[in-house]
A = this chain, B = another copy of it.
Amino acid sequence: MPTLAELGEFEVIRRLAAVRGAPDASIVVDSGDDAAVVRPEPGGLVVLTTDGFVEGRSWRPGWIDPEALGARLAVANLSDLAAMGARPRWALLAAAVRADADVDALVGLQRGLARTLAADGARLVGGNVVAVEHEEAFHLTLVGHVHEGAVWRRAGARAGDLIAVTGHPGRAGAGVRLAARLGDGARDPRFGPLLDAWRSPRSRVALAGALGPLRAVRAAIDLSDGVPGDLAHLCEASGVGAVLDEAAFPDDAALLEAAEALGLPLDALRFGPSDDYELLLAIDPASRAACEAAAAQAAVAFAVIGRCAGDAAARTIVDRAGRERPIPGAGYEHFTRG
């Protein structure tokens, strides 16, 4: 376990560069100069996002290995590009690490990052490593392409549009809560899908790429806070309300098990804070079947869970008995909550 202090900055940078994989033809100047130089697609637009993780807050040591953490950091950023209908291309990693940190762990993180980016057509082209005394942090900037007119935004949903989600909302947040409350008890196989959703989320870039040509998506956001908060952002940007249908949510036996184990109502998990990195979409009702087919083709769970309403103040859910109530819960608040 060589440390950063033992190896020094330049050897560490060399080892990190070694796991990036071969550069593609778009990379004119790779890392190792003052900046990277890349060739954008002619006529395309460039999409830019950054998202980062902090030790002890974004991940729990002992619950995720460095390679999985790197993969998850990639997905957190890929998810933002998927939600814009964009194709990821290049990334830079800013790592804040302790001088006594294990270089092998840092290399593992970068390997997981590089592998996950590569699966969606992106590659690390640079970064920076700074030393910290306390908690470590990793910030990724992801750059991609999108064609003019093909950009998905939070704004654009209209009354009557269907509201769809990929995956199973709330699973990642349930995984976090289980680990915090049950400790090793959370490793019970019946909670496996929840721990997987938390620790190993899947990028929805490929699905976004399949949905784009259908011209069905009117608005999009990634689920990084939880359904109530992210749906609110989409509704506010679009000037619409939302009426959800409880019966339309995907069945989720694992989430039910977790609610029981935690002594919580199912709603607290389904509508609780959860960085699932799934997509929340407003789609043209005429394209529902085409979207469902594209999701099935991509082997991604896809559920139409409600409809946009003309009343921008509406934010309700109709239960199986036909009763309408406010959508429970609120999103993750990065500063006022733990």
User: Footprint of B on A, CB under 8 Å?
Assistant: 4-5, 7-9, 12, 28-29, 32-40, 42-54, 56-58, 79-81, 83-84, 86, 90, 92-94, 96, 99, 125-135, 137, 139, 141-144, 146, 148, 151, 153-154, 220-222, 237, 333-336
Contact = CB atoms under 8 A, between A and B. Distances in A.
Contacts of A8: 333, 335-336
> Which one of A33, A83, A142 has the greatest number of beta carbons of chain B within 10 Å?
A33
A34 B84 contact: yes
B130 A334 contact: yes
The 5 tightest CB contacts between A and B, nearest first, are: A134-B134, A35-B49, A94-B139, A141-B141, A34-B83
Given A54-B96, A90-B48, A92-B48, A28 B335 contact: no
A80 B94 CA distance: 15
A107 to B, nearest CB: 15
Nearest to A140: B94
Given A36-B49, A134-B134, A334 B96 contact: no
A94 B83 CA distance: 20
A99 B57 CA distance: 12
A70 B81 CA distance: 27
B52 A96 contact: yes
> Which one of A37, A135, A221 has the greatest number of beta carbons of chain B within 10 Å?
A37
A130 B59 CA distance: 13
B34 A96 contact: no
A194 to B, nearest CB: 24
A37 B45 contact: yes
Given A35-B48, A80-B34, A135-B134, A29 B94 contact: no
Given A131-B54, A135-B134, A335-B131, A38 B46 contact: yes
A143 B40 contact: no
Nearest to A139: B94
Nearest to A28: B45
Given A50-B92, A99-B335, A130-B137, 18 more contacts: A5-B335, A5-B336, A9-B333, A12-B335, A34-B83, A34-B220, A35-B81, A37-B47, A37-B84, A46-B46, A48-B90, A48-B126, A48-B143, A54-B130, A96-B137, A129-B334, A134-B135, A137-B137
A79 B139 CA distance: 21
Contacts of A333: 8-9
Contact of A131 (B57, B83, B133, B222): B57
A92 B141 contact: yes
Nearest to A13: B334
